[in-house]
Amino acid sequence: MAETSGPYRILVVDDEPDLEPLVLQRMRRAIRSGRYQFVFAQNGVEALETLNQDDEIDMVLSDINMPQMDGLALLSHIPDVAPDIHAVIISAYGDMKNIRSAMNLGAFDFVTKPVDFEDLRITIERALSNLEAWRAATASRERLVALENELDVANKMQQSILPTEFPRQPGFQIHGSMTPARVVGGDFFDVVYLNNGRIGLAVADVSDKGVPAALFMMASRTLLKSAAMGLKTPREVLTEVNDLLYDDNDAMMFVTLFYAVYDPATGEMTYANGGHNAPLIVHVDGSSTVLPGTNGIALGVMPGMSYDERTISISAGDTVVFYTDGVTEAVNEESEEFGMERLQQVFTSQPIREAESATQAVFDAVNKFAGNVAQFDDITCLVFRRSEP
Amino acid sequence: MAIDFQRNQGTLIIEAAERVDSTNAQRFLEDLDAAIEPTDQVVILDMEKLTYISSAGLRVVLQTAKTLQRQNSGFALCALSGTVREVFEISGFDQVIAIHPSQEEAIAALKG
């Protein structure tokens, strides 16, 4: 071990007065180089007082047989006053009973009388080296706990920006939900209130997961919302968000994003697709088809891309199911994917009465299918339903 | 995920196998970076044995494409299986990255 750090403060506890000058003399080099500092106490009571007053002490080196409070009693009190130090015991040669008791009470090591100072120096170094590693591990654990707390905050922030209340209007219903695979995810969905009663609906999936994806997701969602509010058509919205995300994106993060605008006045939905899974349109009888495709690449990787858009008519009772690939690519114990057909079967087996129960039905079906297989991708489902007259 | 590569007269052919998802995408990127030399004029990523690629894996392919573009090297994918091809088609990346049915066709297209 490199003798560069320190000084380490060592409390020597012994009732025999000749130990102090001996220690100072034999350890003078380490004292002079600034590695060790020694403080002395005559017995356990005095040692505990010193530990209480001096929180710089790293290590206790204690005799066992002492008046007032012996070394074993001292050991039993150390965790209460100084939990982050190590103790080394000096015992009579061959006194295995006391040595064992000391070790059981948490002593790190022991040396025997008469003290061999070279052996003592090595023992002290071993104790200090172990102490450093132990302190580093404790610090890492504390950092990890702090990081986990931050992730927890990030998760709450992320969940808090997802819509939890949905418009309940006579003409239509909306409901959506997202379950992240890790603490923080890369999926999101949004419901944007536009002018003239129009409603913007978005579902998106950021490449990768975890904190970087979550940060990109937050940026994507903010850019989308502001672009959507600018009264633009879906194709213009995607073009703008793509260019804004592209700036300073060396990590080549990207987001697949499906954005649709529903106009209650006409019953029409206009949409554009940036590389996302095409939603499903489910009819009153439970049959369903994938929304006709539009050309468009995932957002954030190529500037100046153009996006196509389409307009479809939503009949009363029709439901549009937006989702991310966490739904269709959920895997079961046989390594099969949930797939499009199973998604469609969700609605043939139980007719959709309302948006909320339809969302729940998708999550239930995916969870039942996956069984005990751990979820490895974020799962998002957003359902829009035009009410029946 | 596993990759295997061979180099012949400035053409690097990398074969990727098994699955690439968010658990191993970083290693996929590191393996590709380690395989590619600045002197490679043409790099072909053969995906015949790749059974699955997630969006995290797509990002690695895009990063690799960007690196190669910076060093003026040609880059193409080839021999994509059905599900992998679908991922490239849905994301629209088949519009920005050259995809060919076989190694031979990819080499012919890039070396012209």
Please give the pLDDT value at position A351.
84
Q: Which helix (H) or strand (E) holds A90?
A: strand A86-92
Considering its fold, how many domains does chain B have in total?
1
Please give the pLDDT value at position B105.
96
Give A267's pLDDT tier (boundaries 50, 70, 90).
very high
Please give the pLDDT value at position A185.
67
Q: What is the mean pLDDT of residues B101-107?
A: 95
Q: Which residue has the higher pLDDT, A215 or A191?
A: A191
* Contact yes or no for A52/A81 (Cβ under 8 A): yes
pLDDT of residue B26 exceeding 60, the answer is yes
Residues in chain A: 389
**Which residue's entry shows tokens 């969602």?**
A221
Please give the pLDDT value at position A24.
95
Give A362's pLDDT tier (boundaries 50, 70, 90).
very high
User: Among A379, A371, A251, which residue's Cα sits nearest to residue A322?
Assistant: A379
Task: Determine whether the interchain pair A277/B55 forms a contact, defined as Cβ–Cβ distance below 8 Å.
Answer: no
All residues of chain B having their beta carbon less than 8 Å from the beta carbon of residue A208 are 22, 25, 55-56, 59
Please give the pLDDT value at position A3.
42
> What single-letter amino acid sits at A4?
T
Q: What is the pLDDT of residues A119-149, one digit of tens each?
A: 899 999 999 999 998 888 888 888 888 888 8
pLDDT of residue B39 exceeding 80, the answer is yes
Give A93's pLDDT tier (boundaries 50, 70, 90).
confident
Please give the pLDDT value at position B10.
87
Q: What is the pLDDT of residues A304-338, one digit of tens each?
A: 999 999 999 999 999 999 999 999 989 899 989 99
Query: Among A252, A278, A376, whose Cβ lies nearest the Cβ of B59?
Result: A252
Dihedrals phi, psi of A282, to nearest 5 degrees? -105, 130
All residues of chain A having their beta carbon less than 8 Å from the beta carbon of residue B90 are 256, 275-278
E strands, A163-301, where? 172-179, 187-193, 199-206, 255-263, 268-274, 280-282, 288-290
Which domain range does residue B42 map to?
2-111
Task: Kindly give the pairing relationship between strand A309-313 and strand A268-274.
Answer: antiparallel
Please give the pLDDT value at position A183.
62
All residues of chain A having their beta carbon less than 8 Å from the beta carbon of residue B86 are none
pLDDT of residue A352 exceeding 90, the answer is no
All residues of chain B having their beta carbon less than 8 Å from the beta carbon of residue A209 are 22, 56
Please give the pLDDT value at position A290.
95
The structural domains of chain A, ordered by start, are 8-140 (3.40.50.2300), 162-386 (3.60.40.10)
Beta bridge partners of A91: A112
Residue B21 contacts A where some CB pair is shorter than 8 Å: yes
Task: Determine whether the interchain pair B59/A276 forms a contact, defined as Cβ–Cβ distance below 8 Å.
Answer: no
* Contact yes or no for A355/A163 (Cβ under 8 A): no
All residues of chain A having their beta carbon less than 8 Å from the beta carbon of residue B91 are 254, 256, 275, 297-298
Beta bridge partners of A255: A206, A299
pLDDT of residue A250 exceeding 80, the answer is no
Please give the pLDDT value at position A369.
96
Query: Among A205, A251, A296, whose Cβ lies nearest the Cβ of B55?
Result: A205
Please give the pLDDT value at position A95.
85
Query: Among A253, A295, A297, whose Cβ lies nearest the Cβ of B59?
Result: A253
All residues of chain B having their beta carbon less than 8 Å from the beta carbon of residue A298 are 58, 91-93
Please give the pLDDT value at position A184.
65
All residues of chain B having their beta carbon less than 8 Å from the beta carbon of residue A375 are none
**Which residue's entry shows tokens 């008519």?**
A313
**Per-residue tokens: A80:** 């209460």
Please give the pLDDT value at position A349.
86
Please give the pLDDT value at position A316.
95
Please give the pLDDT value at position A151.
78
Query: Among A207, A210, A296, whose Cβ lies nearest the Cβ of B55?
Result: A207
- For chain A, percent of residues with pLDDT exceeding 70: 97
Computed over every residue of chain A, the mean pLDDT equals 90
Q: What is the pLDDT of residues A146-177, one digit of tens each?
A: 888 877 777 777 778 889 889 888 899 999 99
CATH number for the domain that contains residue B29 = 3.30.750.24
Rounded to 5°, angle at Cα B100 from B99 and B105: 145
**Full DSSP string of A173-213:** EEEEEEE-SSSS-SEEEEEEE-GGG-EEEEEEEESS-HHHH
Please give the pLDDT value at position A5.
64
Query: Among A297, A325, A377, whose Cβ lies nearest the Cβ of B92?
Result: A297
Q: What is the pLDDT of residues A211-228, one digit of tens each?
A: 777 888 888 998 999 899
Please give the pLDDT value at position A334.
93
* Contact yes or no for B84/B47 (Cβ under 8 A): yes
Please give the pLDDT value at position A376.
79
Task: Determine whether the interchain pair A210/B22 forms a contact, defined as Cβ–Cβ distance below 8 Å.
Answer: yes
Query: Among A254, A276, A376, whose Cβ lies nearest the Cβ of B59?
Result: A254
Residue B59 contacts A where some CB pair is shorter than 8 Å: yes
Query: Among B22, B54, B91, whose Cβ lies nearest the Cβ of A275?
Result: B91
Least Cα separation, residue B64 to chain A (angstroms)? 10
Please give the pLDDT value at position A2.
40
Residue A290 contacts B where some CB pair is shorter than 8 Å: no
Please give the pLDDT value at position A1.
40
Residue A256 contacts B where some CB pair is shorter than 8 Å: yes
Least Cα separation, residue A163 to chain B (angstroms)? 24
Please give the pLDDT value at position A4.
46
ipTM, 2 decimals? Answer: 0.87
Please give the pLDDT value at position A160.
80
| Nearest Cα residue in chain A from B52 | A329
